[in-house]
């Protein structure tokens, strides 16, 4: 613990470095705001600045139609009650899961190791004393542990074919009751300590706490309201929501041979499935589940606060604010991606590891907690193995070896075993599920080693090509530095949803660490900062070298970068001079205003926060999945074979489909033995009858996109589809008038034009306005 009155001088940058850091921050911010928005070109950040007042005003007070105006009356605060039912389902899951997590931590971490009163005066703005465990951290860790454990319960019952709302609801209620009973039986001193710890968090820096909480509120509100909107994202509508929907409709979790993505670890998707089961409706449950996933944002922010509060509570509040106000965090909270959960579990793994270093007597218990969260990160998606399990596993072994006086090998092995057991408890069920269903624990990865049902050499080659590592760069060391710099620049300023508060501040944590190291008076916090820095570097380098570098794949490092930014920002603001902090605060205020405008704009995603739910559903469907508008216009007893279309979540009629990385269902049904020609007419007709197919819908836009990117089966051609018509098996059907079917050839890229001039020349139509091709074709099966 730092001596009173000395902490501020020991953990801040020297005056000269602070001025340099402040100058860099202001200059970097100005440069950041001068850049364009690559994902929303031709818009630029200056353009967004000019529109910011109207974007924010329209978001808070949506325009209302005046008499005689044609403005649609479809948005406003009066539609907020439409969300209350879904909020209740989400709240029910979160409440039960939090109590489940509290039970888990009660078993893993004895009450005696939690923070007691009397360690720090409630008005002391210094860092949390080494060895204490704040209630806020325990609150967040309980929520994260409970959500992870709940997903495994849902997985187990789903595999057993017991997706029963009464069982799920009863279990959640039981968790609440059991934890409350145990809590009330706890010694009164522990309950008082809990309350005083919460008070100390606010009272230590009351003015800053109020300002940061107020500044974070609109971003939290955007996360809540945005997550309650229908998704418009392809991945979400092709598998994140589709897998849970199909399992809900089937009444059990099964292997889906037509959707390879549903064999990935599905931690977040189990939360979506649980709300579907509880609500008894796949649509209501999906929206409620998205709100559950949004909770990972504020839970991660609490962990960020506690990590930075190891240096000072001021740094904690600043770090939490930086994280919550970053547009990327809002975006991954309102879209049912897995990166929000992964980010939270990575931060929790780091926090648990640091706590394990503080508590020698409870080291193995906190090592188990660290392993639990690292395994939960891997349960979100396979890259979590690289991001969490491997680095923290190695860190645990190294820490055991370093601190195991006289018994280094024993301490290292024991720590590694405890970490591995806890990680396997969280991640192992997903591996076991795949072994049972496919024979490959990491299906569809490592297919060449383990094999796996539903894949073959051709599909495996396509999957690997579509998710290829940057081998060409890695083979050429001379290209590493320029390629690293290019991608670092893209991460720092090139992403539309990035914040200048991240890379405008975080890099100076290296200089702060060097300052602490030279002072040789704060060894514990010097080591803490080194660990945090190493974690950030590891996350970036593994994203750069071991992924196919999709933009959002680096997002899980944001909590770690926000911690570093908060620590650096506090060290800059801690100056006797008033001018420098004043300029920094003005920059922070302006940046926050821009972020508010950004989350109010369509660039964040679907931003109709207060839109009428009926209108929102229709708008989202028409904007992102017109094919489902076509499907839902068909008779209730229809069943449609889809070609090229995989965004099937909104389908309210039965469909047959396959993703681009699965065996094509059109080819499976209609290809002759040679794999090139169609089956005889009688067999084609029989195939249609056997599967109850009444319609065929072709999304030529998607087929062309796949052919120019991942590759698509050569069997699907306009000629083969038209052959069904020539044989009298299908007839063309008109599309709904709301669906725009004609695509102008002049608007397409060179690769698409080449495809249409060769493979798809039969699709091209000529008109006085120019050549075009149909985005969709609908065929009705002749009785």
Question: Does 260 lie in the same domain as 174?
Answer: yes
pLDDT for the residue numbered 195: 42
For residue 610, is it within any domain? Answer: no
Question: Does 630 lie in the same domain as 567?
Answer: no
Long-range contacts of 571-576 (CB under 8 A, 24+ apart): 571/11, 571/12, 571/13, 571/18, 571/21, 571/315, 571/512, 572/13, 572/18, 572/21, 572/22, 572/25, 572/505, 573/314, 574/8, 574/12, 574/314, 575/15, 575/18
For residue 228, is it within any domain? Answer: yes
| Range of weakest confidence among 105-119, 243-257, 609-623 | 105-119
For residue 586, is it within any domain? Answer: yes
The CA-CA-CA angle for residues 297, 302, 303, to 5°, reads: 95
pLDDT one-digit tens code per residue, 514-557: 988 888 777 889 999 999 999 999 999 999 999 988 899 999 99
Last residue of a domain, one of 570, 604, 638: 604
Question: Does 639 lie in the same domain as 512?
Answer: no
pLDDT for the residue numbered 411: 85
Residue predicted with more confidence, 359 or 254: 254
pLDDT for the residue numbered 117: 36
The CA-CA-CA angle for residues 689, 691, 696, to 5°, reads: 85
Cβ contacts of residue 756 below 8 Å, gap of 6+? 704, 745, 748, 763, 764, 773
Q: How many residues does the chain have?
A: 783
Structure confidence at residue 469 as a pLDDT band (50, 70, 90): confident
For residue 620, is it within any domain? Answer: no
Three-class DSSP category at 548: coil
For residue 638, is it within any domain? Answer: yes
Q: Where are the beta strands (DSSP E) in 106-146?
A: none
Q: Are the CB atoms for 163 and 248 separated by under 8 Å?
A: yes
Question: Does 83 lie in the same domain as 184?
Answer: yes
- Cα 271 from chain centroid (whole Å): 13
Q: Are the CB atoms for 274 and 186 separated by under 8 Å?
A: no
> CA–CA separation, 190 vs 193, rounded Å?
5
The CA-CA-CA angle for residues 648, 328, 502, to 5°, reads: 160
Question: Does 185 lie in the same domain as 314?
Answer: yes
For residue 614, is it within any domain? Answer: no
- Strands in 730-733's sheet, in edge-to-edge order, are 655-656, 640-643, 695-699, 776-781, 730-733
Question: Does 767 lie in the same domain as 718?
Answer: yes
> CA–CA separation, 629 vs 778, rounded Å?
12
| Domain count across the chain | 2
Q: Give CA torsion, residues 281, 284, 288, 290, to 10 deg.
A: 100
For residue 758, is it within any domain? Answer: yes
Give the pTM. Answer: 0.94
> CA–CA separation, 17 vs 161, rounded Å?
62
pLDDT for the residue numbered 185: 86
Question: Does 640 lie in the same domain as 590?
Answer: no
pLDDT one-digit tens code per residue, 122-174: 334 545 544 467 889 999 999 999 999 999 999 999 999 999 999 999 999 99
Question: Does 560 lie in the same domain as 659?
Answer: no
Last residue of a domain, one of 604, 634, 668: 604
Question: Does 646 lie in the same domain as 556?
Answer: no
For residue 1, is it within any domain? Answer: no
**For residue 5, is it left (φ>0), alpha (ψ between -120 and 50) or beta?**
left
What residue has token string 């000269």? 16
Q: Which of 177-191, 279-293, 614-628 has the highest mean pLDDT?
A: 279-293
Last residue of a domain, one of 559, 574, 604: 604
Question: Does 649 lie in the same domain as 581?
Answer: no
Question: Does 636 lie in the same domain as 575?
Answer: no
What is the residue range of 673's domain?
A: 625-781
Query: Is the four-CA dihedral 18, 21, 27, 29 of positive or negative sign?
Result: negative
How far lies 501's CA from each of 25, 48, 145, 318, 587, in Å? 8, 18, 30, 10, 10
Question: Does 720 lie in the same domain as 593?
Answer: no
């Amino acid at each position: 613990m730092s001596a009173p009155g000395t902490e501020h001088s020991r953990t801040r940058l020297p005056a000269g470095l602070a001025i340099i850091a402040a100058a860099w921050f202001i200059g970097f911010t100005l440069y950041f705001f001068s850049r364009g928005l690559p994902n929303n070109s031709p818009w630029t950040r200056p353009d967004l600045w000019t529109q910011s007042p109207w974007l924010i005003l329209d978001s808070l007070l949506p325009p209302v139609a005046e008499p005689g105006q044609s403005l649609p009356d479809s948005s406003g605060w009066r539609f907020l009650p439409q969300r209350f039912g879904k909020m209740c389902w989400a709240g029910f899951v979160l409440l039960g899961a939090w109590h489940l997590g509290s039970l888990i931590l009660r078993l893993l971490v004895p009450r005696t190791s939690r923070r007691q009163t009397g360690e720090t005066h409630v008005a002391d703005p210094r860092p949390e004393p080494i060895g204490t465990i704040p209630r806020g951290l325990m609150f967040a860790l309980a929520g994260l542990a409970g959500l992870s454990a709940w997903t495994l319960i849902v997985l187990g019952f789903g595999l057993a074919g017991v997706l029963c709302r009464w069982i799920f609801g009863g279990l959640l209620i039981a968790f609440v009751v059991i934890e409350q009973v145990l809590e009330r039986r706890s010694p009164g001193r522990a309950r008082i300590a809990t309350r005083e710890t919460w008070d100390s968090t606010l009272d230590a820096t009351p003015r800053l706490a109020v300002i940061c909480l107020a500044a974070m509120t609109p971003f939290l509100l955007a996360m809540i309201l945005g997550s309650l909107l229908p998704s418009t994202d392809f991945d979400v509508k092709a598998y994140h929501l589709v897998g849970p929907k199909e399992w809900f409709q089937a009444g059990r979790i099964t292997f889906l041979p037509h959707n390879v993505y549903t064999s990935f670890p599905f931690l977040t998707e189990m939360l979506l499935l649980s709300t579907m089961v509880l609500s008894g409706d796949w649509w209501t449950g999906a929206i409620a589940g998205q709100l559950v996933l949004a909770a990972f944002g504020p839970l991660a922010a609490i962990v960020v606060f506690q990590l930075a509060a190891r240096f000072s509570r001021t740094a904690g509040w600043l770090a939490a604010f930086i994280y919550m106000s970053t547009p990327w965090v809002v975006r991954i909270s309102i879209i049912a991606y897995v990166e929000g959960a992964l980010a939270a579990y990575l931060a929790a793994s780091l926090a648990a590891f640091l706590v394990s270093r503080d508590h020698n007597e409870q080291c193995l218990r906190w090592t188990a907690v660290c392993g639990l969260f690292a395994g939960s990160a891997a349960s979100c998606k396979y890259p979590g193995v690289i991001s969490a399990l491997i680095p923290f596993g190695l860190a645990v072994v190294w820490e055991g070896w370093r601190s195991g006086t006289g018994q280094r090998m024993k301490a290292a092995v024991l720590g590694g075993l405890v970490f591995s057991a806890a990680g396997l408890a969280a991640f192992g069920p997903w591996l076991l599920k795949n072994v049972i269903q496919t024979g490959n624990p990491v299906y569809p990865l490592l297919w060449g080693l383990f094999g796996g049902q539903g894949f073959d050499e051709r599909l495996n080659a396509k999957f690997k090509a579509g998710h290829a590592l940057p081998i060409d760069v890695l083979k050429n060391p001379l290209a590493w530095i320029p390629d690293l710099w290019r991608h670092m620049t893209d991460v720092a300023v090139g992403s539309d949803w990035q914040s200048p508060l991240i890379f405008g501040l975080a890099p100076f944590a290296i200089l702060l660490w060097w300052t602490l190291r030279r002072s040789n008076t704060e060894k514990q916090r010097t080591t803490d900062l080194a660990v945090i820095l190493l974690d950030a570097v590891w996350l970036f380098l593994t994203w750069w070298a071991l992924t196919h570098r999709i933009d959002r794949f680096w997002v899980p490092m944001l909590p770690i970068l926000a911690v570093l930014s908060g620590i650096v920002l506090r060290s800059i603001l801690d100056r006797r001079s008033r001018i420098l902090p004043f300029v920094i605060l003005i920059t922070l205020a302006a940046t926050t205003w821009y972020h508010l405008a950004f989350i109010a704009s369509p660039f964040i995603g679907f931003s109709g926060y207060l839109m009428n739910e009926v209108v929102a559903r229709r708008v989202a469907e028409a904007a992102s999945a017109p094919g489902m508008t076509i499907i839902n216009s068909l008779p209730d007893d229809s069943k449609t074979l889809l070609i090229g279309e995989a965004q099937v979540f909104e389908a309210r009629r039965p469909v047959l489909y396959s993703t681009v990385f699965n065996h094509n269902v059109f080819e499976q049904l209609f290809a002759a033995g040679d794999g090139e020609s169609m089956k005889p007419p009688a067999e084609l007709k029989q195939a249609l009858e056997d599967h109850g197919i009444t319609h065929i819908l072709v999304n030529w836009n998607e087929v062309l996109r796949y052919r120019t990117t991942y590759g698509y089966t050569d069997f699907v051609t306009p000629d083969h589809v038209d052959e069904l018509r020539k044989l009298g098996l299908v007839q063309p059907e008109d599309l709904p008038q709301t669906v725009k079917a004609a695509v102008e050839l002049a608007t397409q890229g060179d690769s698409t034009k080449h495809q249409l001039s060769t493979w798809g020349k039969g699709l091209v139509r000529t008109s006085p306005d120019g050549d075009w091709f149909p985005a969709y074709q609908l065929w009705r099966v002749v009785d």
